[in-house]
């Protein structure tokens, strides 16, 4: 957590210096993903854990649709790979290393967490679960 806190502090400092960040599109995206993790972690009142996110992603959950018990049902067990919807439509990898635009659009993140957590768990994901899952995808 200490390292992450330092990274976030550094990102915040960079954001306050526009000349430094000019032309650094990649850094701006990483900063936004770090902020998203940080916001959910603050709501949860605990630091994000990529390991917990990994376990949550692979777990078979009860309460949702029986044919989609896991996030990995559609996103595959290795989110660096493309996934597939039940209808066979391709889903771009969730891993930020493969899909750098992931978790940079708060509306998209909110929409799909709502939809997918309901499908898999039959309930909304908690802020802690969201922080952990994004931390996991960002760590790959
Ligand atoms: C029924 C198939 C399916 C399942 C099961 C599923 N997803 Fe998804 N997920 C999708 C599709 C389709 C999209 C939207 C297409 C895209 O973003 O490429 C998506 C997108 C997302 C996004 C948006 C990412 C972004 O770009 O901002 C998040 C977050 C997400 N899923 C998380 C989860 C989590 C967490 C679970 C398990 C609780 C899960 N998904 C289970 C199909 C699924």
Model pLDDT, residue 3:
56
For 95-131, b where at least 16 C-beta lie within 10 A, e where not — what string? Answer: bbeebeebbbeeeebeeebeebbebbbeeebebbbbb
Model pLDDT, residue 17:
43
Q: Tell me: the pLDDT tens digits for 20-78?
A: 444 444 444 445 899 999 999 999 999 999 999 999 999 999 999 999 999 999 999 99
Give residue 74 CA to ligand 1 midpoint distance, Å.
8
Model pLDDT, residue 27:
47
What is the domain range of residue 120? Answer: 2-139
Give residue 113 CA to ligand 1 midpoint distance, Å.
7
Instruction: Say which CATH number the domain at 53 has.
Output: 1.10.760.10
pLDDT interval class at 19 (50, 70, 90): very low
Q: Tell me: the pLDDT tens digits for 77-119?
A: 999 999 999 999 999 999 999 999 999 999 999 999 999 999 9
How far is C-alpha 28 from the chain's CA centre?
16
> What element of type H or E holds 91?
strand 90-91
Number of structural domains found in the chain: 1
Angle at 115 between CA 104 and CA 121, to 5 degrees: 115
Closest ligand 1 atom to Cα of 101? 26
Closest ligand 1 atom to Cα of 108? 27
Give residue 140 CA to ligand 1 midpoint distance, Å.
16
CA atoms within 13 A on the CB side of 60: 2
Q: Mutation test of ligand 1: which of 55, 116, 118 has the most ligand atoms closer than 8 Å to its C-beta?
A: 116
Model pLDDT, residue 7:
53
Q: Are 11 and 26 in contact (CB under 8 A)?
A: no
pTM: 0.83
């Amino acid at each position: 957590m200490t390292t992450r806190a330092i990274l976030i502090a550094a990102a915040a400092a960079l954001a306050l210096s526009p000349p430094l960040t000019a032309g650094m599109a990649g850094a701006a995206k990483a900063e936004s993903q770090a902020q998203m993790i940080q916001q959910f972690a603050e709501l949860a009142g605990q630091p994000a854990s990529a390991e917990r996110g990994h376990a949550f992603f692979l777990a078979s959950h009860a309460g949702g649709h029986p044919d989609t018990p896991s996030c990995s049902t559609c996103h595959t067990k290795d989110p660096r790979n493309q996934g597939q919807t039940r209808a066979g439509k391709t889903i771009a990898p969730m891993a930020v290393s493969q899909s750098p635009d992931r978790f940079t659009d708060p509306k998209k993140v909110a929409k799909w967490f709502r939809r997918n957590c309901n499908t898999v768990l039959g309930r909304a994901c908690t802020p802690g679960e969201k922080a952990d899952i994004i931390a996991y995808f960002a760590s790959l």
